[in-house]
Structure 1
């Protein structure tokens, strides 16, 4: 705070609140000092140039870092890189506070139309952010290949353009990735049809990707013993251990997806009824019963492990900035990998989905039907659940036909 209070440049009025925000995010004192020192030096440089704070951009960061080269002052690479990281962090936070203008990015008509398509998917279709980004990128790539940086006229797009784009993509992508491309392109053309820019026949011109639904991959499920070892390996005397134990129990007992764990908020726990509100794919919400051990683990984390934070997400990062996990990040996957490593478990793979598969396998072996498993896992289509029929080897033995000539 002392460095911020001595600032006299254009950042003087904002460094104090910025430092306090770093403290609220639970950065350690040494890190706050380093960030403040870089910010104060940058403030002095801006004051010397009489720079207007509203015009602050990445250009000024580059000029600031170039000052030592012009003065022929040596600086090591690590110091230069750290200086860059701290200033980028400062600029990003100032923009979030509305102090500086947002980054100016030159866009093309293709970029603008792809962005409009993304807004449509978000506000009208309700797709997940990851699906929106994948579909938007496919639409942008198709438009750039067809129109370049010039004006976009979808009325000139023909079936040959659509088929040619898919064929070019198929030369470098695997069939699963091609399915995403085809789905994204078909979704974009439907949006264009909705806007009145293309005919329905163009949507039908999108080729299908060959697939064989009768031979899906066998789910890789972690064994019940290994799952319990991973859960028991969490150190209940530390905040991180309490958090990891609660996360692993949610994965193992309720079969939640990683994104569903990340999306949980404090108000989603109904302690009176023993229920949990889960936000699944497509922004669908469902209420699940909260098993006793899951509830106890969450309560222990809230009482003794969760840091004091304004963020309403149920599970928070253990390192600064202390906040909820970002969607699309691998925070839950990291928790699973560290837990398996601590327990010295050789699991089928290191992802969090193996706990979801394990729940389905245990239910199947316990006599549950596929529709019941699909209801617990919140599958939209019975086909998604049918893959678990290949896991029950004992039930499949009764369907096997005897080999001709074998002993009766």
Structure 2
């Protein structure tokens, strides 16, 4: 993926998972497109070489022609963009870390509590080719903590349901082998048997990709974001969700269950343990809940 695809994914994330208004997303899109167009070609091709001075240089040029409010919005857009890229390991460093923060900077990754996750899964229809596909998508994302790019790039032969494993090609073409929960095995097997063959024959050219559209073509990242948003609304969930939400829910529930961070790092495919350590918020939250429940001066917390 290049910077243009990263921008598309960031905008999908804003729309689906943060509740950003349409006007905000449109403004951020303009600001970030202008920023990327202003970069030298060498930095567009190698964004890992970006430094804070490159960002400040762009903002300095904006100050010469734009109002202060527009410059501050552009600063927030750039800051949020690079927080997202660094948090999702697209970049090893965050070149915007010295810029004034935005809401995305300090927020923990969004995730669903166990009750909300059960509500989502229970709401998924179980009949019809598209319903079976959708159920398989949600269960696989949650069961394995996949990135959206890993999901849409997955071929059928990556699955070994007999061994209850799936081969995942992650960032930097690094492969990892993940276990699949029994509940997900059932949903995926039903999709492969009763849904995918019907979808596959609707296209003039057969695809090896695991998940197909109603026309038999491979699903793309944008469709996954839209689909999850639709399913969340139908489930009556107040939270906005996207593929990142299910990935973070997977990791959060593992840590809640006592999994060690090294194991979670391996399952998520994080290159650095520092990226995985953000899930230690679960332990801090649990301590607060225990304190609130059992300490004489505590207050009873609501269930997540």
TM over 0.5: yes
- Structure 1 residues 257, 370: closer, same or farther in 2, change over 3 A? same
* Aligned-CA RMSD value: 3.8
Select 1:141's aligned residue among 15, 20, 38: 38
CA contact (8 A) 2:120 2:235 kept: yes
1:340 matches 2:232: yes
Deviation at 1:253, TM superposition (A): 1.3
Corresponding residue SS for 1:324: coil
Q: Which residue number corresponds to residue 235 of structure 1?
A: 125
Deviation at 1:303, TM superposition (A): 1.0
CA contact (8 A) 2:232 2:240 kept: no
Query: Distance between the aligned counterparts of 1:223 and 1:208, measured in 2?
Result: 30
Query: Distance between the aligned counterparts of 2:272 and 2:77, measured in 1?
Result: 18
Query: Distance between the aligned counterparts of 1:265 and 1:361, measured in 2?
Result: 27
Corresponding residue pairs, total = 235
Structure 1 portions without partners, runs of 5+: 1-121, 145-159, 185-205, 400-405
CA contact (8 A) 1:233 1:343 kept: yes
CA contact (8 A) 2:255 2:261 kept: yes
Q: Which residue number corresponds to residue 153 of structure 2?
A: 263
TM (norm. structure 2) is 0.64
Deviation at 1:143, TM superposition (A): 4.7
TM (norm. structure 1) is 0.49
Structure 2 portions without partners, runs of 5+: 11-31, 42-52, 63-70, 86-94, 292-296, 298-304
Q: Which residue number corresponds to residue 252 of structure 2?
A: 361
Q: Which residue number corresponds to residue 164 of structure 1?
A: 57
Deviation at 1:268, TM superposition (A): 0.8
- Deviation track 1:250-273 (CA, whole Å, cap 9, x = no partner) reads 122111122221111111112343
Larger Rg: 1
Q: Which residue number corresponds to residue 311 of structure 1?
A: 207
- Deviation track 1:104-155 (CA, whole Å, cap 9, x = no partner) reads xxxxxxxxxxxxxxxxxx7xxxx687249999985642359xxxxxxxxxxx
Select 1:286's aligned residue among 163, 176, 181: 176
Higher RCO (CA < 8 A, seq sep 6+): 2
Corresponding residue SS for 2:140: helix
